[in-house]
């Protein structure tokens, strides 16, 4: 049977508010998206022993959660390296912008630069590129994020938690924060 354009248009139609809530709302929407991006990254072909981006994100988020970090940082960590091939830190930050504090947004935006500090194969000038942000109020937290969670999370032997473990945190965070009074809507 040949399908009409109207059939496709009906399928592609954005759900109205009631349908959206019936499907699990914003929390479920973001977890499904996160799960799809993790699966996409898991399909990368890498040499044996190297972690794919999703495995690295899971390990960094596991470390952040075990260190007692707030839900928004754990959720952001699960997303922080899923967009390789684009300007990955800026892309992840824009996705998270409506939901997270200015500090967490800044960490995601700048982690790529701060990570260079932990790469011994770079020149001193490259490793110290983060110094241009020394006067930012978020410098120390971003440095801590990289030192404690991001840089160590390429360890194939670490006891990393599976994505499903983070489902309740992710769903509650995205469902709850978007309409919160303090939700960010401005620039950062």
Q: Angle at Cα 109 formed by Cα 162 and Cα 83, nearest 5°? A: 50
Angle between helices 102-115 and 88-96 (to 10 degrees): 170
Q: In whole angstroms, how close is the CB of 168 to Fe ion at the nearest point?
A: 23
The answer to whether 161 touches 58, Cβ cutoff 8 Å, is: yes
d(CA 73, CA 107): 9
Q: How far is the CB of 162 from Fe ion (least distance, A)?
A: 18
Q: How many residues bind Fe ion (CB under 5 A)?
A: 3
Residue 81 CB, shortest distance to Fe ion, in Å, is 4
State which of residues 76, 81, 97, 177 lies at the interface with Fe ion (CB under 5 A): 81
Under rule CB under 5 A, residue 171 binds Fe ion: no
**Minimum distance, C-beta of residue 80 to Fe ion, in the bound complex (Å):** 6
The closest alpha carbon to 153, from 50, 79, 71, belongs to: 50
Q: How far is Cα 185 from Cα 117, in angstroms, rounded to an integer?
A: 31
* Footprint on residues 135-164 left by Fe ion (CB under 5 A): 150
**Touching Fe ion, residues 98-127 (CB under 5 A):** 112
CA–CA dist 104, 67 (Å, integer): 16
Site string for Fe ion, 18-57 (x = CB under 5 A): ----------------------------------------
Residues in the site for Fe ion, rule: CB under 5 A? 81, 112, 150
């Amino acid at each position: 049977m040949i399908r009409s354009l109207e059939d496709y248009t009906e399928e592609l139609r954005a759900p109205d508010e009631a349908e959206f809530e019936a499907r699990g709302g914003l929390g479920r929407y973001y977890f499904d998206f996160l799960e799809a991006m993790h699966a996409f990254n898991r399909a990368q072909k890498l040499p044996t022993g190297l972690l794919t981006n999703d495995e690295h994100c899971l390990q960094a988020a596991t470390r952040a959660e075990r260190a007692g970090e707030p839900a928004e940082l754990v959720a952001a960590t699960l997303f922080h390296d899923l967009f390789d091939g684009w300007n990955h830190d800026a892309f992840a930050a824009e996705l998270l912008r409506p939901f997270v504090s200015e500090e967490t947004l800044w960490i995601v935006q700048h982690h790529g630069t701060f990570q260079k500090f932990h790469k011994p194969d770079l020149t001193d000038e490259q490793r110290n590129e983060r110094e241009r942000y020394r006067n930012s109020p978020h410098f120390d937290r971003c440095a801590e994020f990289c030192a404690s969670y991001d840089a160590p999370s390429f360890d194939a032997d670490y006891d990393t938690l599976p994505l499903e473990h983070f489902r309740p945190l992710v769903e509650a965070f995205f469902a709850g924060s978007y309409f919160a009074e303090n939700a960010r809507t401005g620039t950062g």
